[in-house]
Amino acid sequence: MDATKVWWTSKTIWMNLIALVGSILIGIGFDSGRWAEISTVSLAVVNLILRFYTREPITFETEPK
């Protein structure tokens, strides 16, 4: 059986949650300037990097298998 990890240990999940918070702040009028473009490109690059290091799937159960 493949090993899984719990969702809160996923770097990809955390990176995307941080990006979501940043997008919400920009959307409600927080000083955006060029940050929308910078954050979009940064998120894409970080997600690509994390994709190469991801080896095991995540689970939403409380204990990993």
pTM above 0.85, yes or no: no
Instruction: Output the pLDDT for position 3.
Output: 75
What is the pLDDT, as a whole number, of residue 63? 65
4, 59 Cβ separation under 8 angstroms:
yes
Rounded Cα distance between 55 and 50, Å, is 10
Each residue's pLDDT tens digit, 28-46: 776 666 777 777 778 888 8
Judge whether 61 and 6 are in contact, CB under 8 Å: yes
Residue found under tokens 């770097």: 11
pLDDT in tens, 3-32: 778 878 888 888 888 888 877 777 777 666
